[in-house]
Amino acid sequence: MGVRHRELTLEAVQYHPESIMSEEGDALLRNFLDLQGGTWAENPVSKVLDPTLHPFNADAPHRAPTILDKIYAQRLKDVELAKSTPGTTKEDLQTFLSMQLAPPLISFVARLKARSPALMAEIKRASPSKGAIAIHTNAAQQALTYALAGASVISVLTEPTWFKGTLLDMRLARESVATLTDRPAILRKDFIIDEYQICEARLWGADTVLLIVAMLPPDRLKALYLFSLSLGMEPLVEVNNAEEMRTALRLGAKVIGVNNRNLHDFNVDMGTTSRLADMVADSDVVLCALSGISNRSDVVTYIGQGVGAVLVGEALMRASDPGVFVRTLLDLPPALTPRGGATKPLVKICGVRSVQDAEVAAEAGADFIGVVLVPSSKRCVDLAVVKEISTTLRARRSATTGSDRPPTANGTPSSNGAVTHPRLRTRLLLPGLARMPSRCRLRARF
């Protein structure tokens, strides 16, 4: 760690002997010898004035690094490490993309506009301000719970140091909802500073990424935005004040999220979204409220201000039943559940050839009795025996329910012979399998 002048280069350096004698000692000396004196502008090899680096406000008062500064510095290291790891270099990722190895995309914007308000449900194990939140969360299970309850987007934290997230979390979240009709979009929630991370996001299953205006110079923000579009992903652009909102609008962002949490000190002001909402009132931008939302009342307030989507993280992660909480936030009716508890498996006993066998199976609790009507089978049963079995089973059911029809959920006979809850041992059915003259196979009920 060292201190440098804002304009002038170093002219002298004192090194500890331990540093010079270390494995990187030669590199330390070479770096110093490469300096020519003068100003940093005259020494471009130093990259001190590299425009891709986090902007430095020369007029700012001296201060300690903020949380965002620390996260930014750590992510720089993380990205460089990933780029230098064999198998995950920048060239490797570009090759994977060219080979079409990334999973199919869905439209982030369309998914948000399909429901108003749309819910972006977040998977977040920890945070810099709260520490551990739900450290043992299973990302796949949490994502599926969110999706089945009605979430439009699954936001997955993939930052490992402060938020305890991984790319694997995002991949598993994506896989857990991949086969659902109208599956939620997957958001990579991270501190994106490099095109490399956007390639990662695309390959690991994201449909969109987060770009934070507060941590990116305008040129880098634009470059990352356009790069994301080139991979088919419309980003979520995050702002926290009016100037950042103007930057996002100049960028042409279609989805803008107002973070009620200031990333420099992590304080939450729920009025932040409210104050900025008018800036997009007459546009086609999807306005999202991010952070601090903990109940239906918060959601209703933002709906009235033109907010099209809300992101909820900590409150969902702490909820005893996330699915119920999602429905509460969206004002959806409770999920339907069968009467009498969870559905149990149905049991079928196959190859029954006599009335006695059928009665034993019924007494044991079978739901179905299977008979074979294929003449060439060793277990083929004569139709007269099948009729006798059927008559016996109907009589058994009638003795208990007062009807020879299977009971419905409320205990009355169903008109079509269907069996629903509650599960009753006396509803036993008799399917048969016969050889048909064409391509068909018959599965009959008696």
Alpha-carbon distance 115 to 30, whole Å?
59
Instruction: List pLDDT tens digits, range 284-328.
Output: 999 999 999 999 999 999 999 999 999 999 999 999 999 999 999
Total count of domains within the chain:
3
Instruction: List pLDDT tens digits, range 368-404.
Output: 888 888 888 888 988 888 888 888 888 876 666 555 5
> Helix, strand or coil for residue 413?
strand
Q: What percent of the chain has pLDDT over 70?
A: 80
Mean pLDDT, range 49-53, rounded to an integer = 60
Does 128 lie in the same domain as 229? yes
Does 229 lie in the same domain as 143? yes
CA separation, residue 431 to residues 131, 210, 390, 392 (Å): 58, 55, 10, 14
Mean pLDDT, range 216-233, rounded to an integer = 98
Alpha-carbon distance 420 to 340, whole Å?
11
Q: Domain end: 330, 363, 385, which one?
A: 330
Residue 91 confidence (pLDDT) above 90:
yes
Within a domain: residue 434?
yes
Within a domain: residue 63?
no
Higher pLDDT, 418 or 98: 98
Alpha-carbon distance 338 to 158, whole Å?
37
CB 393 within 8 A of CB 427: no
Within a domain: residue 383?
yes
CB 258 within 8 A of CB 272: yes
Give, as one character, the DSSP assignment of residue 261: B
Does 369 lie in the same domain as 311? no
Does 163 lie in the same domain as 259? yes
Does 373 lie in the same domain as 290? no
Range of the domain at 17: 1-50
Does 190 lie in the same domain as 130? yes
| Close Cβ partners of 312 (under 8 Å, ≥ 6 residues apart) | 119, 120, 121, 122, 293, 294, 329
Please report which confidence band the pLDDT of residue 441 belongs to, taking 50, 70 and 90 as the band edges.
very low
Within a domain: residue 237?
yes
pTM as predicted: 0.66
Within a domain: residue 69?
no
User: What pLDDT was estimated at residue 215?
Assistant: 95
Alpha-carbon distance 191 to 66, whole Å?
14
Does 295 lie in the same domain as 151? yes
Alpha-carbon distance 348 to 429, whole Å?
9
Instruction: List pLDDT tens digits, range 136-176.
Output: 999 999 999 999 999 999 999 999 999 999 999 999 999 99
Within a domain: residue 336?
no
Does 280 lie in the same domain as 152? yes
Does 222 lie in the same domain as 318? yes
Neighbours of 305 (CB within 10 A): 15
Does 367 lie in the same domain as 275? no
Within a domain: residue 338?
no
Residue 193 confidence (pLDDT) above 50:
yes
For 359-371, letters b (16+ CB in 10 Å) and e give bebbeeebbbbbb
Q: What percent of the chain has pLDDT over 90?
A: 58
